[in-house]
Each structure stands twice: as C-alpha cells, then as structure tokens.
Amino acid sequence: MTKRFYLTKSIMLFIFVSFYMIFSFKISAKAIQTDEMESTLLGAATITVESYSIENDYLEAGKDAAILLKVHNNGGTSASNVILTISCGNDMLYPSYGSGNQIYIGVLGAGVTKEVTIPVTVSSSFEHEAIELKCNFAYTASGKQLSNTSTIVIPAQSSSTIEVKSIGVSKRATVNGKSLLSVSYVNNSRTNITDARIVIEGNVSDDSSVIAMDTIEADKSYSKDYQISYSEVGEQNISISLVYTDTNGDEVNTNLGNYIVTVSESNGSSLVEEGNVVLTWIGRVIALVALLVACFVTVSYIRKR
C-alpha cells in the first residue's frame, strides 16, 4: 500500500512538473515572439535621401550651385546626432568656399523629413552629362551607432546640350561686305541636333539674321566660320543667340553676347564717290572757263562798237 502510494505520488509529481515546464516554455516563446514582432514593427532608423532639387535645375562647369536634399527617416525609431557627409568620386564637385563636406542635421524622428541645403562648386574641367554624389549618414538610434549611404545622380546643364566654347566676331567690317564669325562648340548629348541656328539681331542683311548650322552630331566638337553682312555704316551693336531643340524636345535660346562692330563704306563706294568729286570739280572749271570766254567775247564786241 505504501509503495503504491509513493508510486502514485511520484507519477502525479512528474505530470505536474511536465505541465509546468511545457506551460513556462510556451509563455517564454510567446514573449520572445512578441518582442520580435515589436522590433519588426518598430524597425531600425534608416536615413535616406528622399528627393533632391538643384538651383537653376542643373550643374554648370565652373559655377556655384545649391543642392537641396530632402532627408527622410524611413524607420520606426528616432535618430539622433545625424551627420551628413558628401563626396564625389571624380572630384568634379566640392563644397563652396567657406563650407565643408559635413553637415550636422541633429535629430530626425521616425517618418520625419528635413530639408538640407548644400552649397557646392562645380569643377571648371567638368564635361560629363552628370555627377554622382554620395551622401553618407552617420547617426545614433536605439542606442547603436548606425550609418547608411545614398547615391544620387545630378545632371549637368540640361539646357546646354550644345555648349559654345568660344565665339569670335570681327571688330571691323564694310557695308554689304562679308565679315567673319567664328564659333567653336560641342554637342554634350548622345543625340544629333538637326535644327541649330545662329540668330543675329541688329543692322544685318536678311541672310545674316538667321544662319542655319549643319547637323551637330552627338559627342562631337566643331569649329566653324560663318559670314555676317551689315546693312548700315557706323558703330553697329549686334546680339547673337544660339537656338535649337534639345533632347527633351524643348526649344533652347542661349545668349552668346552683344558685340560692337565698326562698319565703314566699301572700297568700291569710296572710289565712286571720289570719282564723282573729281568730275564735279572738272565741270566747275569748264563752266568757269566758259564764263570767262563769254565775258571776253562780250567785252571785245562792245569795244568794237
């Protein structure tokens, strides 16, 4: 009886302990699963560049620009001590004078977006279609030091598919004659431009007011001479523009500058004018001689009478 009692008691104790262990394990497993779900729902803070815009819409070689970044926290937790470091692999873009390549953003809450302005200078030797800018974010979130990098591609001067490298205008010309206009240019795009033309405003002939250019092939440079014919003499002020349709289908009108040209009479006109003066004086001399002869004859006739 005693043995059976102890055996029954042991079996019941074993069953109780087994149920306790199973129940405790389920509770722990449930707690771990809940923690993992909360961690997944909350998510780690991830700082990225949501979008960007550029002053004047493009980058231009040798010029300053301002890049406006919209920095966003995609995670479910707040990030603090956010520091942005920018870099450009080919050194075609660097911080403007007086500013550095690091910008302190501070705290960026979960789902929050902040605007950051970066003043930059484009290298004068920049000749590419775009610049790749790397934005590295270092920050603290959930007690950990984290980092993330976003890369953006910024286009070059989109409205300058055709870039004029140099232009030369003769400072002196003759009216109705041919004066030299030299232009060096390059097609920075990967598309041929077929409707480019030089537009000249001022006292020029109709043929010179719009000068059609030949097809400008993609990624090619040119140096060409054109002719300008002026319709009036004196100090002539002309304005020269380059007009074409870019790769986006938009008409581009680029001002190439204003120029003052001294226009004089042609050599032929001077010779004709000089000949007319000589003939005029000869006519006057003949008329004077005829008058003297007439006077002499008249006086002689009167004396004879």
Q: Tell me the mean pLDDT in the region 251-257.
A: 90
CA–CA separation, 134 and 150 (whole Å)? 6
Mean pLDDT of the chain: 79
Tokens of 238: 């002309």
In terms of CATH architecture, what is 162-264? Answer: Sandwich (2.60)
Q: How far apart are the first and last CA of the chain?
A: 201
pLDDT at position 23: 45
Q: Is 1 helix (H, G, I), strand (E, B) or coil?
A: coil
What is the rounded CA–CA span in Å between residue 219 and residue 188? 5
- What pLDDT does 39 receive? 35
Q: Which amino acid is at 195?
A: D
pLDDT attached to residue 196: 95
- For 212-244, the DSSP string reads EPPPB-TT-EEEEEEEE-BSS-EEEEEEEEEEE
Query: CA-based Rg of the chain, rounded to a whole angstrom?
Result: 43
Average pLDDT over residues 235-247: 91
pLDDT in tens, 75-122: 889 999 999 999 887 777 888 888 888 999 999 999 999 999 988 888
- The secondary element (H helix, E strand) that includes residue 107 is strand 102-108
For residue 273, what are the contacts with CB-CB under 8 A and spacing of at least 6? 265
pLDDT the model gives residue 30: 37
Q: What is the pLDDT of residue 27?
A: 36
d(CA 164, CA 216): 12
Structure tokens, 102: 């690091």
Q: How many residues does the chain have?
A: 305
Q: Is the pLDDT of residue 37 over 50?
A: no
DSSP 156: B
- Which pLDDT tens digit goes with each residue over 267-304? 654 444 455 566 677 777 787 777 777 676 666 666 66
Contacts of 82 (CB under 8 A, 6+ apart): 47, 71, 104, 105, 106, 107, 108, 137, 138, 139
pLDDT tens per residue across span 109-139? 999 999 999 888 888 777 666 778 889 999 9
Cβ atoms of 146 and 140 closer than 8 Å: yes
Q: Does the pLDDT at position 215 exceed 90?
A: yes
Which residue(s) pair with 293 in the sheet? Answer: none
Rounded distance between C-alpha atoms, residue 160 and residue 169, angstroms? 22
Instruction: Output the six-digit token pair for 133.
Output: 């800018």
pLDDT-derived band at 230 (thresholds 50, 70, 90) equals very high
pLDDT at 121: 87
- The DSSP secondary-structure symbol of 174 reads E
CA separation for the pair 156, 90 (Å, rounded): 14
Q: What is the pLDDT of residue 26?
A: 42
Cα–Cα nearest to 195, from 251, 159, 245: 245
**CB within 8 Å of 51: residues ≥ 6 apart:** 69, 70
For the 47-155 domain, the top CATH level (class) is: mainly beta
**Phi/psi of residue 12, nearest 5 degrees:** -65, -40
Domain extents in the chain: 47-155, 162-264
| Residue 210 in this model has a pLDDT that exceeds 80 | yes
Alpha carbon separation from 143 to 46, 48, 77, 80 (Å, rounded): 14, 19, 11, 10
